[in-house]
Amino acid sequence: MNWLIKLCCIAATVYLAIGGLLYLGQRHLLYHPTPPQHLPDNIEVLPLAIENGSEKLLRLNPGHNRALLYLGGNAEQVANSAPQLAEQLPNHTIYLLNYRGYGGSDGKHSEQNLYRDATSSYELIARQHSHIAVMGRSLGTGIATYLASRENVERLVLITPYDSITAVAQRHYPLFPLQLLIKDRYDSLSRANAIDTPTLIMIAEQDRVIPPIHARRLADALPPENTSVEIIPGSDHNSVAQHPRYWSLIGDFLQH
């Protein structure tokens, strides 16, 4: 029996150690900041004041009444999406938010900080535009649903979204009680009944980062009369934007 007790003690120690690492390193797993980037002349930088620094809101295609706020993924250099956004959505002024710690923005990233900064971005945009759409990808979909549940968002595009970060993390680490450990939950599902915005959900059929079941749960909780769901065949989490139908679906949805 001694060997069994020792084995159980070792297993418990390893389990607690891994759980501790997950807890302490959770923001390193969730957020993958991007370095500062040289921007072409057609991208304007609008600084947003935050405590102890500023954050970069990028703007292109100025002069249109319709605006689109783009909220990217956890390792995305959002400026890299600027050329296609400008080309595919020529009738919108495009705004791209560099989260705290991303693309040369100052500050520390956290769920509440990103909500605050997205709200500040929206308020700045609303002073110049009467029609505002919001487009979130991956991590950014949780921020996009937060905005849509609180602000006057005309159209909402969610690319590879999730019900909550907690649910996604629990699927990847099923042996640990992540409901008790996670700080930044991005619980889009809990906000679904407060969103009455026309919404387009795009699901990558072979997504292993955010398995499609999480997007479907969110879609099922949104008002069906306002929600369109498109499954992008043969695509995964990172390749979905390269599918031939990707931009046509987004363009058609935003033009209505």
Q: Encoding tokens for residue 1?
A: 């029996």
Cross-strand bridge partners of residue 95: 59, 69
Q: Are residues 19 and 108 in the same domain?
A: no
Whether residue 36 lies inside any domain: the answer is no
Question: Which pLDDT score is estimated for 27?
Answer: 84
Structure pTM?
0.92
Q: Encoding tokens for residue 168?
A: 């996604």
**Residue corresponding to tokens 């945009």:** 125
Q: Are residues 2 and 53 in the same domain?
A: no
Q: Are residues 1 and 115 in the same domain?
A: no
Whether residue 39 lies inside any domain: the answer is no
Q: Encoding tokens for residue 195?
A: 């969103």
Q: Are residues 107 and 74 in the same domain?
A: yes
Whether residue 251 lies inside any domain: the answer is yes
Whether residue 250 lies inside any domain: the answer is yes
CB neighbourhood size of 235 (10 A):
21
Q: Are residues 108 and 25 in the same domain?
A: no
**Count of the separate structural domains present in the chain:** 2
Helix (H, G, I), strand (E, B) or coil at 67: strand
pLDDT tens-digit readout, 1-47: 677 777 777 666 766 667 667 777 678 878 989 999 888 888 999 99
Q: Are residues 18 and 62 in the same domain?
A: no
Whether residue 38 lies inside any domain: the answer is no
- Which residues lie closer than 8 Å to 68 by C-beta, 6 or more apart? 85, 89, 92, 93, 94, 95, 132, 133, 134, 135, 254
Whether residue 249 lies inside any domain: the answer is yes
**Residue range(s) defining the domain that contains residue 226:** 44-255
pLDDT tens-digit readout, 66-124: 999 999 998 899 999 999 999 999 999 999 999 999 998 998 889 999 999 999 999 99
